[in-house]
Amino acid sequence: MYENVALVGATGAVGSIVRQLFEERDFPFQTIKFLASARSAGKTITFKGTEHTVEELRPESFDGVGLVIASTPDETSAEFAPWAVERGAVVVDESGYWRMKENVPLVVPEVNPEAIEKHAGIIASPNCSTTQMVVAMKPLHDAAKIKRVIVSTYQATSGAGVAGEKDLEEGSRAALAGEAYEYQAFSHPIAFNLIPQIGSAKHEGYTSEEMKMVWETHKILNDDSIRVCPTCVRAGVTNCHSESILVETERKLSVQEARELFDAFPGITVMDDLANGTYPMPLQSSGKDDVFIGRIREDLSCDNGLAFWCVSDNLRKGAATNAVQIAELLVGSQVTA
């Protein structure tokens, strides 16, 4: 039933990577259509050597479509996803609108693939900062049950879209030249700076981005008892989110056991040799699909604590790759709405 595919937000940064992944991974389909806003409709896209015209997103766009992958603003997803579901399609959605809805599974394929069986037409992909963290948490949680997480993120400007990337590039040029620059995506200069706020004020001093990490972690791991304390920071890095993560477990995990658990888990690559300067960094991780982990060490302040550093491409595993992996689960299992 998933032979006919539609990609919504086809001309955006994430949509472009989805197209690339479809080609790289030889995703199976009979027909494919590319949908976008009226502003982008009429543009042409080359896909698998053939030119396709981008169509305007309308209710009838989903006639005969079985599978939709979408990367759009929340308000767009809220409007179009029901159109697709009414016509019998399953929507894999990247926006934040559906993630915490009760009848919508929130899925990271390495972590909770079984959750797709509960879908009612829509499957949500998590926030990028949550995705890489739960991939890192899952093997530790299964082995020793995580009680508490303290996480500080260093999030790339690409997470704020094209405008965010432009702000970093043009703002840096202006700063070096001693010139003024009017920032579009950020309320403070991002060039040579860190901004300790992503999202709006949400809950008792935490931002919306930080609360996403709390609520989404609980839903994905199906465990509301895990205490999560996040601090989300925008950093002057073009691509790849980095996270400093400290977990406290019920059973003590040694560094060696944790490294072995990480090594054995799908989608994780361990880079952990402090003496030789080997650890994950955004420049090395960009354009790759894995979650990279290093700086693994025991927490000196807590008996059952473990600290580590985690880097992942927020546009790939944090968005496009995760959505395509969900679609591959659907195609493989032929789960129906």
Give the span between the Cα atoms of 331 and 329, in whole angstroms.
6
Spatial contact of 181 and 170, defined as CB atoms under 8 Å apart:
yes
220-252 b/e (C-beta count within 10 Å ≥ 16 → b) = bbeeeebebebbbebbbbebbbbbebbbbbeee
Helix axes 208-221, 128-144, angle to 10 degrees: 40
CA angle 89, 131, 203 (to 5 degrees): 100
Strand partners, 71: none
| Residue 188 annotated among the catalytic residues of the structure | no
270-294 b/e (C-beta count within 10 Å ≥ 16 → b) = bbbeeeeeebbbbeebbebbbbbbb
Catalytic residue among 119, 128, 141, 240: 128
Pick from 125, 35, 107, 104: which is nearest to 76 by CA? 35
| Residue 310 annotated among the catalytic residues of the structure | no
Catalytic residue among 141, 232, 240, 241: 241
Residue 42, SS3 per DSSP: coil
Catalogue the long-range contacts made by 170-176 (C-beta closer than 8 Å, 24 or more residues apart): 172/236
Pick from 51, 87, 86, 57: which is nearest to 70 by CA? 57
Q: Kindly list the distances between the CA atom of residue 293 and the CA atoms of 152, 178, 325, in Å, as whole numbers in the listed order.
A: 15, 38, 21
Distance of CA 83 to the CA centre of its chain: 24
Tell me how far apart the 2 most distant CA atoms of the chain are, in Å: 60
Active-site residue numbers? 128, 241
